């Protein structure tokens, strides 16, 4: 039976009989090339084949396909095997690809600069290369997005240039960068303007900001809004939303229009910001003293007289007849009167200052009384008296010797 070269499709000879058989055989083969094959990877023939189904027989096929590697297995009331020829194209259904035969094996069709798309895709999705051959595309699963908020936070959305610009513009606006908004004349004590965080104003004329109860501002001061959507209002209402940077630091002291050379400066009032001069000066070697609610220039003699009046009177420990008397370092004198028994002077108590002086005065009640001394009493150049003289005053002058822990008695005086 004659055939067409390459495709090996049978042709009808003019002299042959049963021409319809040749015609039918040719139609079956032609239909196979148009209809394609179901698979190129099935190695075992289907147990219940369907007329018209075709397969590319892979290597190592089994059953009736054994030894038919690379052929087209067409089932039509039994299998018939069609030899492929170089350049033939056939559609492989389970791969969704066109395959071609190169004379020894089948492979995906690569038209050169062209690419092969997938069998299906999601409308609007972006295609992506499948593999590294550059000849096959797949559905990337990703789509362009025009959402300027990027709210989906998805790896499957690719924002457009406009969406990116919208997002970046909003992000920059939210950074509250400082924006100079203009000058404010505060001579009429205006309210704070409506503003957002980062808005900056410059004071052009001094006055108050935020109404008559607002803070003083000077020309050149800067007002910074620190809160978004801050409404216009007085200082009590929206003042916390603003920061005032002063040209002169608030609290700077303001002096009088003129002053006396060398005169003293005094605060004027209670604000702590005003200073006055009342012409008061202090002469050399004199003192500045507060007298009767006013400051005055005072000479050393005047100050000495005032201090003398303030000097504390001697501190006296008064004792009336006690068998034991314990002096304290917090007193300057121990005065013992009407002593009616033998007297024992105990060691002093309290916090002693080196060199501190102490005077002990003793007088009996008309009968001589014995006197004894504790361990810290030490006579220096004198003899410690051991008895009183009837109705006569006796003085002992003492100095505390911290180095020796002794109360040195350096003077004894007896009334004649």
Q: What is the pLDDT of residues 32-47, one digit of tens each?
A: 677 789 999 999 999 9
The pLDDT tens digits for 340-361 are: 999 999 999 998 889 999 999 9
The pLDDT tens digits for 48-90 are: 999 889 999 999 999 999 999 999 998 988 898 888 889 888 9
The pLDDT tens digits for 261-292 are: 877 888 888 877 788 877 677 788 788 778 87
SS (H, E, C) 337-405: EEECCCEEECCCECCCCCCCEEEEEEEECCCCCEEEECCCEEECCCCCCCECCCCCCEEEEEEEECCCC
* Percent of the chain residues past pLDDT 90, beyond the cut: 50
The CA-CA-CA angle for residues 349, 353, 356, to 5°, reads 90
Total residues belonging to the chain: 416
Global pTM reads 0.32
SS (H, E, C) 266-278: EECCCCCCEEEEC
The SS3 of residue 179 is strand
C-alpha 388/C-alpha 360 separation (Å) is 13
**Is pLDDT at 232 greater than 70 in this prediction?**
yes
Predicted pLDDT of residue 26:
63
Predicted pLDDT of residue 29:
67
Q: How many CA atoms lie within 13 A of 32 on its CB side?
A: 27
* Domain ranges, ordered by start, for the chain: 3-108, 131-173, 176-245, 264-301, 316-414
C-alpha 164/C-alpha 192 separation (Å) is 36
**Is pLDDT at 31 greater than 70 in this prediction?**
no
Distances from the Cα of 412 to the Cα of 117, 377, 409, angstroms: 130, 13, 8
User: Contact at 8 Å (CB) between 118 and 96?
Assistant: yes
């Amino acid at each position: 039976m004659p055939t067409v070269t390459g495709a090996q499709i049978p042709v009808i000879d003019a002299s042959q009989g049963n021409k319809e058989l040749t015609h039918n055989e040719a139609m079956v083969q032609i239909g196979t090339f148009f209809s394609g094959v179901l698979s190129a990877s099935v190695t075992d023939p289907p147990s219940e084949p369907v007329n018209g189904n075709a397969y590319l027989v892979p290597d190592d096929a089994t059953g009736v396909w054994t030894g038919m590697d690379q052929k087209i297995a067409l089932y039509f009331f039994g299998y018939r095997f069609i030899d492929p020829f170089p350049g033939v194209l056939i559609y492989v259904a389970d791969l969704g690809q066109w395959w071609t035969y190169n004379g020894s094996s089948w492979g995906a069709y690569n038209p050169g600069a062209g690419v092969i798309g997938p069998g299906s895709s999601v409308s609007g999705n972006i295609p992506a290369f499948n593999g590294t051959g550059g000849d096959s595309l797949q559905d990337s699963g990703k789509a362009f997005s025009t959402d300027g908020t990027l709210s989906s936070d998805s790896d499957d959305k690719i924002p457009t240039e406009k969406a990116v610009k919208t997002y970046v513009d909003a992000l920059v606006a939210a950074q509250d960068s400082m924006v100079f908004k203009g000058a404010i004349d505060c001579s009429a004590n205006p309210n704070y303007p409506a503003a957002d965080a980062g808005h900056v104003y410059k004071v052009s004329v001094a006055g108050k900001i935020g109404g008559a109860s607002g803070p003083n501002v000077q020309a050149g001061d800067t007002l910074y809004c620190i809160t978004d959507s801050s409404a216009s209002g007085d200082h009590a209402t929206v003042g916390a939303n603003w920061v005032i940077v002063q040209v002169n630091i608030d609290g700077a002291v303001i002096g009088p229009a003129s002053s006396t050379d060398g005169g003293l400066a005094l605060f004027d009032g209670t604000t702590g910001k005003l200073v006055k001069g009342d012409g008061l000066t202090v002469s050399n070697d004199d003192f500045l003293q507060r007298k009767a609610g006013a400051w005055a220039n005072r000479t050393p003699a005047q100050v000495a007289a005032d201090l003398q009046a303030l000097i504390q009177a001697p501190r006296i420990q008064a004792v009336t007849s006690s068998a034991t008397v314990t002096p304290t370092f917090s007193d300057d004198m121990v005065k013992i009167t009407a002593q009616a028994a033998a007297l024992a002077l105990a060691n002093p108590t309290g916090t002693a200052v080196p060199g501190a002086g102490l005077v002990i005065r003793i007088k009996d009640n008309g009968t001589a009384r014995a006197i004894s001394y504790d361990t810290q009493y030490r006579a220096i150049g004198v003899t410690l008296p051991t008895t009183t003289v009837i109705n006569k005053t006796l003085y002992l002058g003492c100095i505390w010797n911290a180095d020796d822990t002794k109360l040195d008695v350096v003077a004894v005086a007896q009334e004649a």
